[in-house]
Every structure is written in structure tokens, then in C-alpha cells.
Homo-oligomer: A and B are copies of this chain.
């Protein structure tokens, strides 16, 4: 059985236990692990590392693609193994360690991490730990349900540990397209000209001598945590679809739209799902994570092709998709996140990008990451890669949170991840603000009229009009601009 998964004969003797493999990781090392949006992460070695840390404390810098499943970030954080972590996470325990200053978290655009590694602008990866379906005859690594940063980690690392996951379907082989941009200053254009462009290898090409250990595993990916649609997400979806239909009527888009990107999460998944009952057809996705809605759109005959860096599904959908993978395979590509999120490709293809905001302000600046302006939630992820270079950058959020004590629309955001220059359309369940071609004062009027919850509308309007009296391109009462956040912190509510 192992011979089908480890097809390079010279590597069979490197199979070892997770504990032995983990012993290669030493205190102070930088480790690059597979894993992107809870898919395809190395599972056994990090668990063994956390276990070992109980008796043999050590600290590492951990780089991944994005978030890890199987509570790995929690386990590693609680074992105090992480001194530094990049470029993304989404775990409550790790978040706590980041916010109390125990773990130094470097929140990066997901396309940029390996560019920094390649140019030695961050410390090099000592060991890569990569989950794989198989190792090819030449020693190439076939990833599982995500590519993330695995390819560059494996190529740049001094040593590589492979976790062959026997539970991951071997039908995954052939799905991946591994292309690494050539070195600057002699880099050539990245030849992706449509979501279905295949430009690389179906495996990660590395020198097999670097493979220091192989661990056999069977644990599955975690399921996605997406919630079912509710009245608010249905309303948000409705506003967006109505807007897109109108763009078609105006001749600015066709019924094929432009290739779509949707951020991870409940709202984006709900929006994508909403496309099933529309006149749009022959759609394509060029996104980072492919969620349940991608496969529902395939099944509905609406979607022709989907390119991503990972597949993250609910438990039920995972079972169905993996069983039927041969049927979907010709419509799918998984790419390194550097390529799925590359500014060059995003701008070339002209994507319609849908991402989630934590809060936005009356001028259209978006906070995607910081609760109260100080506490990290997850990270910017790919939202900056996509929004900046999109044909159309759309941000969605519910207009209120925590039973109404928080307004998602505020006078000034407490932290900026996306500036007003990069935000075209804002949608809450209340309505949609089309900010394209508008000056800040016009943006404010549109946002207040269309996106704010009625509870907060008068007060926001009052703020804006008092600010306008004082003047400026972007009117603010600077001493009051963050007062809503201050009230939330001090009194537990933005309500006056």
C-alpha cells in the first residue's frame, strides 16, 4: 500500500513515526507547514511536537498557508511552542496568545509570504512539513486538499518532512498546478490568462534527498464551520444579485459576469449559493478557498470552472465531493496561494471580489481584522490581494453585531485594512452603497442612506453633518471620530 503512495523506491526507508520526525524540529527553528483554510495541513508532526513540548519546552516560528484545522493552532499555542506565527490564523486560543503578546503574529497579504522568503527578507525556513497524497517516482510531492505555501516551503527549506495521509483520496492527484514565479529581476510573466490555465506541474518538484522523514497518517481535514443562511445573509445576497443584474442591464457586465472570488465564511458562501437561482451562467471562479457553494454551483450547471488554493467543505459535502471527485476534477485546479492571490493575475482576469468586513466607516474604509482597533481576529488573509486588484471590490457585513450594541458602520474605523481607494461596493442587510466614482462626501451620504442599521442612522447622519460644517475633503470631528469605539469599550455598547 505504501508503495502506491511512496513511488520513489529510495524513500521507503524514510518512513518513521511522527515523534521521530518531530525530533528534527529544534528550538528556535523556522518551520513551514502545509495547511490553508483548515485544509491539507500537516497533522501528526505538529501534534507530536506539542506533546514533546510538555517535557522538552521549545519555541518555533511557524509559517503556514493560512488557518490550520484539527485544533492545531490551539494545541501548539497552549503548548507554548509558538514564538512567531505568520501569515494568518483563525483560532480562539492562538488569538488569545497573540492579543496578550505571547505570540508575535505577522499579519500578511497571503500572496506575499513566499516572496519575502525568496528574497531573504524574513528568516529562512529550516524545515517544511507537508501533507501529501503521494510522492512520485521522481520524488515530487503531491499535495492534498490545499496547496497554500507548501510548494515554496518545500523548495526553499533545508529539510522536508512529508505526511502521507492515507485518508485523503488519491484522486486528488492531478488536481494541483504547481508554478513558482522565476527569480527577479529576470522574472517572466505568470502565464495564467483564465481560471482554467494550467501552467505548472501536478506535483511539487524537489530534490528527494531533502526528504528527511515520511510519516503515515489517516486523520481527516476538519469540517468547515459555515453557518446556514439567515434572514440577514439572504438580504445581503439579494442586494448583491440585484446590483449585478443591473450592471448587466447597463451593459457593463454580461450574464457570464467576470471570474468570481469569495472570501471564506458564512456570508460569502451564502452569496455564492445565491447565484444558483439567477440568469447568470457559465460562471468561473478564481478564488483562494473553494467552499460548499462552489460544488453546489457545479451541480446546478452554473459554474464552468473553479481555481483555488484549497477545498474546505462541511462534513456532509466533503463526503460527497471526495466520493465524486473524478467527476469534478476536470473543472478544478488547486494552485499555490502566491498564484491564486497574485496581483498580476487578479488584475489581468478582472475579478469580482466578495470579502467580509468587520466594520467600515462612512467614507468606505474597511477594518477586516481588529476588534475595537486593538484585538486581532483572524488576519487580512487574501482580502487585500483581491480587493486592490479587483475589477470590482465588494465588502459585505451585517449592519449590527452583538444584538445591536455594535454598529458595523462607524464614523471612522478603528483600524484600516482596506482604504477607501480600494473599496467599490459595500453591502449590509439594509442595502447596498455603490461608491464607484464618488468623492468622500458623496460616499458618506450613500453609505449612511443605504447601509446603516436604522438604530444608528440618525446619529451617524448627525456626526457627518456636524463634521461637514468643519470642512475638509474627508470631514471628521477628529476628537469624536473614535468615540463609538470608546463607548463600546467603556460602557459595553455603541448605543447612546
Contacts and interface: CB of A to CB of B under 8 A. Distances in A.
Nearest to A472: B374
Contacts of A391: 119, 184
Contact of A121 (B115, B252, B375, B467): B252
Of A191, A344, A471, the most chain B CB neighbours within 10 A belong to: A344
A106 B437 contact: yes
A414 B69 CA distance: 38
A202 to B, nearest CB: 23
A193 interface: yes
Contacts of A251: 120
A469 to B, nearest CB: 10
Interface residues of A, number: 87
A489 B472 CA distance: 13
Interface in A312-361: 342-344, 347-350
A416 B414 contact: no
A391 B184 CA distance: 9
A106 B189 contact: no
A441 B101 contact: yes
Contacts of A365: 416
A476 B373 contact: yes
A187 B348 contact: yes
A388 interface: yes
Interface in A407-460: 414-421, 424, 436-439, 441-442
18 contacts: A99-B471, A104-B438, A121-B392, A122-B437, A185-B259, A185-B350, A186-B193, A188-B193, A343-B347, A343-B388, A370-B472, A370-B473, A372-B478, A374-B467, A374-B471, A376-B474, A384-B421, A388-B388
